[in-house]
Amino acid sequence: MTTGENHIGNQRSAKGTKTYKTFNPLLNIENDQVFYEATSEEINQAVDLASDAFKVFSKKSPKEKAIFLRAITEEILAMGDDLIAMYQSETGLPEGRAKGERGRTIGQLISFADMLEDGNWVEATIDTADLDRAPIPKQDIRKMLIPLGPVVVFGASNFPFAYSTAGGDTASALAAGCPVICKSHPMHAGTSEMVSEAINRAAIKTGMPTGVFSNLNSSGIEVGVELVKHPGVKAVGFTGSIKGGRALYNIASERPEPIPVFAEMGSVNPVVLLPEAIQKRGEALAKTYAGSITLGTGQFCTNPGLLIGIKSDGFSTFIDTLSSEIIKISPSCMLHPNIIGNYERNKENALQQNGLLVTADYTDEVSTNYARQTIVTVEGATFLENTTLHQEVFGPFSMVVQCKDAHELETIIQQLEGQLTGTILAEQEELAKYSSIVDALQNRVGRIIFNGVPTGVEVCPAMLHGGPYPSSTDSRFTAVGLHAVKRWVRPFSFQSWPNSLLPDELKDENPLEILRLVNGNNTKSKI
């Protein structure tokens, strides 16, 4: 099934001597397959091949690229249960999650294929000539989005399918017309190798150039660093920790030619509980949040790690209910011993801070690599003073902040770092009454939710998954949804270009029948 080799385009390669294995956290054993870390030579080969492939791939028609994306879905599905078994052996996640995430991945690829066939996404903009204009004749100018070049995608630990090898970053980059070099996540190198094989099979079947996709193994940071420094690489997609994302951002910014890095990093996803809602629905909300905090063993980037409210009897009841409900949930396995190790360490570090009260801590015996969920409370003033408490504890851990009044609550929100999401649990009338709190929260997040949970990131055009730093490195882009493609494209203008030589998207006849902005009007008409 796997060989442990890298994919340099559609060729397998294992020139290195540094090897590693993946780990089955459920069984608490190493998996058998040996993976060969990519060498500098292999990195250069992959990038050079991607640069060559770019010349061909960037000229493929939208239809051809759509056929390629659909073929990837077929090749992934053709791997059937073997792929699901590989995923489970490297993550400890249940079959339902594996299949669900595969479905999400397939759905993402298909939605980008649909986007290509629809064609409107290129933002075709045309201003026709007026050569009689005085004093200076107006030239014909036509603009559309074109691909940046080879993109490096870093696999995410917590989404081996949906945000790794053939996940959202890869699907959007390929849709844009950019070859992808995937730096596979070391915790699921086998899953990545299989998915890479699927992508390369699809590339061969649909006539895409070799090098349109490569998959490189690495257990450390060296391969990633070399890739981001490589002059042939033109953009980077990353999902992971703030430390990792910021390091790559710094490297990319310091290059002779800086390149864009979209890193989706950590977030505590603050949830604001307003008084009336707590009074009326506190118990139900507590039960819902016990579920959201422990969903996927708290390993989602939108996990609600911070709940903030104003002291009241209702809020105390909420905390009691949340604490008693969350203890009823059976602990589950985390993705890797390193991840549970970090969870325990970060939780311990938080618990050592002054002023924290543990209100729920699962103390029963659990299997190895299973995470105990924990709820702590803290006073608003204490939280404000100690920014260590603002940091994410990745896992099923939430901190409840009890503010003395609405002003303190607003101050806390203003001082939070940037977040992927912010949630308001409130009666509708309260939104107007606490509008400055709502405004402050909006200013700190990428997505704001009313009376829901932040977990569950719908893949749809209106989704924004990103946000102010450090939740992402550039709040102007999203990692989820069709607009994720905008990270990998640049607008390009043709001036006075012969109609027959323009891309179809910009031709007078509008052969693709796309919506275009022509002389200021949105239209599908010919010119």
Contacts with a second copy by CB under 8 A lie at 55, 118, 120, 125-127, 136, 138-139, 141-143, 146, 148-149, 249-250, 253-254, 257-258, 260, 417-418, 428, 431-432, 439, 442-443, 446-452, 456, 458, 460-464, 468-470, 473-478, 483, 486, 489-498, 501, 515, 517, 520, 522
Q: Is 117 a catalytic residue?
A: no
Considering the complex, state which of residue 27 and residue 460 has its C-beta at the smaller distance from a second copy.
460
The DSSP code sequence of 407-454 is HHHHHHHHHSPPEEEEEEE--HHHHHHTHHHHHHHHTTEEEEEESS-S
Considering the complex, state which of residue 12 and residue 99 has its C-beta at the smaller distance from a second copy.
99
Considering the complex, state which of residue 347 and residue 444 has its C-beta at the smaller distance from a second copy.
444
Report the nearest approach of a second copy to the CB of residue 431 (Å).
6
Report the nearest approach of a second copy to the CB of residue 471 (Å).
11
What HEC string does 281-317 produce?
Answer: HHHHHHHHHHHHHHHHHHCCCCCCCEEEEECCHHHHH
Considering the complex, state which of residue 323 and residue 478 has its C-beta at the smaller distance from a second copy.
478
Query: For residue 422, what are the β-bridge partners?
Result: 448
CB 97 within 8 A of CB 103: no
Among candidate residues 75, 264, 392, 408, the one labeled active-site is 264
Among candidate residues 178, 182, 301, 333, the one labeled active-site is 301
The DSSP code sequence of 93-145 is --HHHHHHHHHHHHHHHHHHHHHHHH-GGG--EEE--BTT-SSSPBPPEEEEE
Report the nearest approach of a second copy to the CB of residue 256 (Å).
9
Report the nearest approach of a second copy to the CB of residue 287 (Å).
17
Report the nearest approach of a second copy to the CB of residue 58 (Å).
9
Considering the complex, state which of residue 208 and residue 449 has its C-beta at the smaller distance from a second copy.
449
Considering the complex, state which of residue 145 and residue 202 has its C-beta at the smaller distance from a second copy.
145
CA distances from 442 to 103, 272, 282, 464 (A): 31, 12, 23, 13
Give 3-state DSSP helix, strand, coil % of the chain, rounded to 5: 45, 20, 35
CB 303 within 8 A of CB 343: no
Q: Is 301 a catalytic residue?
A: yes
Classify residue 447 by burial, with Cβ atoms within 10 Å: 0-12, 13-18, 19+. buried
Cα–Cα distance, 43 to 182 (Å, whole number): 11
Report the nearest approach of a second copy to the CB of residue 366 (Å).
27
Catalytic (active-site) positions? 264, 301
